[in-house]
Structure 1
Amino acid sequence: MTSYPAPAQAFSLSAPVRLWDEGFAADPHSRYEALRAQGPVGWGELAPGEPAYIVTDRRAALDILHDPDTWSHDSREWESTAAPDSPILSMLKWRPNPLFNDGAAHARYRTALIDGFDLVEPHDLRERVHRAVDLLVGRFGPVGSADLVDDFARPLMTLIFNNLFGLPDSESVRLHNSIGRLMEGGDEAAAGELEYGRYVTELVTAKTLKRGDDLTSWLIDHPADLTYEEVVWQVFITMAAGHEPTANLVANALSRILGNPVYYSTLTSGSRPVMDAVVEVLRHETPLANYGILYARESLSFHGVWVRKAVPVIVSYGSLGYFSEQAAAGAPHHPHDASHLSWGAGAHKCPLKQQVLLIATEAIERITQWLPDLEPVMPRDQLAWRPGPFIRSLKSLPVRFTPRTPDTAVATP
């Protein structure tokens, strides 16, 4: 068991900071400051009556993420104490996939996913993104206005991931709706999980009966010899983890770009790469804000706090990003600095980083080529955010632009 340094005083567990209400969605930064005031590890609440330790300090976060002997991703002990109707159960309960396992089981699941995605060539993934963007712009381009969340970022990911896993475009709305409800972690989470679970099960059943040139079929035939149930749960986690965070990454980056006309002009002129905006979001406004979830294998003292086993410990990437932005104010700009922890760290670091970056940057480049005069309808500080402890996600991003049709020569990317 690793011994950790402790400050002189631990915090009281009497006043958890809420991470689930509309107030948190509207102003997460004040909540992060309240947590930070408690020390490297704060005491928060993921839902009414659902407490968790919240790590807001980078050193403490790295101590956890690089110490698998002390910390586990297996949530089954917590799950045994959770209420059956807990609004966060759908996001935290154990499943046989890489997110909720350690050691050899984690490595087996992770290897199968990496090997599957390695079969998708970058140029092929780029073409899938372009196809999906073109299809969506073809729908709303002639109107001259759109919501870049519900009309673009989220349906874009359903089109891309449906295509990768072997489903037709006609199934996109079903995926879009079920994952959205699941990820918010509120009253609709259980219904969203149930619908999404049916969706994935039907897909794996169809591919078990008849293979295709897609990720689902490759997982079924992988040398890891995954069971039917294991394939279901690999598809379940990969589609969800790929869809919602990447959609939020695209929307959050577009909102930052469009909220700064000078920034936008440098991107559309080609003098500044889109990757700068994407990395800025990952550093300071990461879309998966509070989903680095671990559990102490045994109760222990950690950075001045007595951490009980079977209570979630959340590495708050959102708070780490917020405080890094405050610290960077006035400092030299290093757009390609990868010091953020949005991808996680250690053995559970996101295995599909390059694919996510390719999807996000290509999507933003493609839509700004199609619609070079995108203009936000309202200032960024007036935009509304979806509630929930785990994600940083806009409710909408309304824009207007000169109407375009696919046959408008000047607008063709």
Structure 2
Amino acid sequence: MNAPVNATPVPSIASPVRLWEDGFAADPRAYYEILRAQGPVGWAELAPGIFAYVVVDRRAALDLLHDSEIWSHDPRPWEATVAEDSPVLGMMRWRPNTLFADGQSHIRYRQTLVDAFSLVEPHDLRERVHRAADILVGRFGPRGRADLVSDFCRPLMGLIFNNLFGLPDSESDRLTDSMAQMIEGSERSAQAEVEYGRYVLELIAAKMARRGDDLTSWLLDHPLNLTPEEVTWQVFLTLGAGHEPTANLVSNALSRILGNPAYYTTLTSGSRPVMDAVVEVLRFETPLANYGIHYARRPLSFHGVWIQAAVPVVVSYGALAYFAEKESRSTHRTNDASHLSWSAGPHACPVKQHTLLIATEAIERLTQWLPDLSPVLPRERLTWRPGPFHRSLTAFPVQFTARTPDQARIPEQSGDLG
């Protein structure tokens, strides 16, 4: 193996900020302040010995995201310098799909995803969310208490996405468990990547043998003729990108809503839409805190920092959100379209409307079932999962009046989604 090109910090940037340590999860804003003190582009460690530039300035982020001539999404030159057991490889390893492709390959892969998701009708997706929520609340509703992270948000996405891609409910826990561990960038991430890969391979094999009315089958039959391997990696990407960040979006929004009783009342009374709370999270506490990884095609000066080729350049959506919130408090600006949680440029999220529908419908359905949800702990005492990439609650315990399906104000829960 060659000596890692990013094994030591470059002289032009201060000591690396450790985004992998527990302190970052507990107080990311302090770390963003340190990065911002370095300038528009800071220097960080994503894992021990894995260094990256981190963009914490909005203008710099937009310049990066919109310039495909200077920047590439292909990590292979960097990946060749990294140990195979690195905990961040699960999130950064090259695969033949839209996230890691440039140029015409990216356009081809992206088009297949746009076309496949266009076949998912909003009313159908809404029904899938409702049915999944009904199943889960039907399980914990009679207890009068729940952890909304482990009992609702994560398994909800497992049920929804597992079903959208064509497997029965019995397989959804495999998806949920492997995704949760892989995104953390911990020592368990490598094994989680293997488990998740096995899940995807079995899904592809099932659909190769027998098509269905699902996203996997539509990708396999797309007129752009993706190979089975390409479909495998498209599914690998899309399931992961849909599951964990959307679960975190819902849990982050619920913690903000329930942590503010006056806010919660405006939502449950209908005087304020749930979409407001979801957009607030996207603006100020985005669930995918650091990602949008690029690589300079050649060494260059970028916003006053000398960038080496083949070293990750990470967009800190979390830092951008934090500094946007600071600015909004001081200037009273309320531009809901200002956030970059969907990224920007040619690699911007192609299915953001589906994500917004899932998140808002999940919250509305839950609060219809359990209108008196109350957090057990104040929000400042909640804990957050470690990891450089996400903003994700460890747990969110709540209590409520116990309810069984026959007591609900909404139709009785449905059965298996498969």
Report the TM-score range of the alignment, normalised by the length of the smaller protein: over 0.9
Change (3 A) 1:43 1:294: same
**Which residue matches 2:58?**
58
Paired residue type of 2:187? D
Paired residue type of 1:308? Q
TM-score (norm. length: structure 2):
0.95
Q: Distance in 2 between matches of 1:403 and 1:351?
A: 39
Structure 1 regions of 5+ residues with no counterpart? 1-9
**Which residue matches 1:13?**
13
**Which residue matches 1:7?**
none
Confirm or deny: 8 A CA contact 2:13 2:38 kept in the other structure.
no
Alignment of 1:7-406 (within 5 A): 12-332=12-332, 334=334, 337-406=336-405
Paired residue type of 1:381? E
TM-score (norm. length: structure 1):
0.96
Confirm or deny: 8 A CA contact 2:158 2:243 kept in the other structure.
yes
Paired residue type of 1:229? E
SS in 1 for 2:183: helix
Q: Distance in 1 between matches of 2:176 and 2:91?
A: 17
Paired residue type of 2:101? N
Paired residue type of 2:118? D
Q: Distance in 2 between matches of 1:31 and 1:409?
A: 44
**Which residue matches 2:5?**
none
1:12 deviation in Å? 3.9
Q: Distance in 2 between matches of 1:342 and 1:409?
A: 35
Structure 2 regions of 5+ residues with no counterpart? 1-9, 413-418
Confirm or deny: 8 A CA contact 2:289 2:318 kept in the other structure.
yes
Confirm or deny: 8 A CA contact 1:11 1:38 kept in the other structure.
no
Change (3 A) 1:11 1:360: farther
Deviations 1:225-260 (A, max 9, x none): 111110100110000000000000000000000110
Paired residue type of 1:342? S
Deviations 1:9-55 (A, max 9, x none): x9743510010111000000000000000000001110011110000
Q: Distance in 1 between matches of 2:245 and 2:409?
A: 32
Q: Distance in 2 between matches of 1:333 and 1:142?
A: 43
SS in 1 for 2:337: coil
1:344 deviation in Å? 0.4
Q: Distance in 2 between matches of 1:14 and 1:49?
A: 15
Confirm or deny: 8 A CA contact 1:11 1:39 kept in the other structure.
no
Query: What RMSD over aligned residues (CA atoms) do the two structures have, in Å?
Result: 1.2
Paired residue type of 1:137? V
Q: Distance in 2 between matches of 1:289 and 1:342?
A: 8
Paired residue type of 1:323? F
1:173 deviation in Å? 1.0
Q: Distance in 2 between matches of 1:248 and 1:235?
A: 20
* Aligned positions, number: 403
Change (3 A) 1:405 1:102: same
Change (3 A) 1:256 1:327: same
**Which residue matches 2:416?**
none
Confirm or deny: 8 A CA contact 2:12 2:306 kept in the other structure.
no
1:87 deviation in Å? 1.1
* Identical counterparts, % of pairs: 70
Confirm or deny: 8 A CA contact 2:291 2:314 kept in the other structure.
yes
Confirm or deny: 8 A CA contact 1:11 1:42 kept in the other structure.
no
**Which residue matches 2:4?**
none
Q: Distance in 2 between matches of 1:33 and 1:319?
A: 8
Q: Distance in 2 between matches of 1:108 and 1:176?
A: 29
Deviations 1:137-159 (A, max 9, x none): 00000000000000000000000
Confirm or deny: 8 A CA contact 2:112 2:222 kept in the other structure.
yes
Paired residue type of 1:268? T
Confirm or deny: 8 A CA contact 1:130 1:363 kept in the other structure.
yes
1:409 deviation in Å? 4.6
Change (3 A) 1:33 1:11: farther
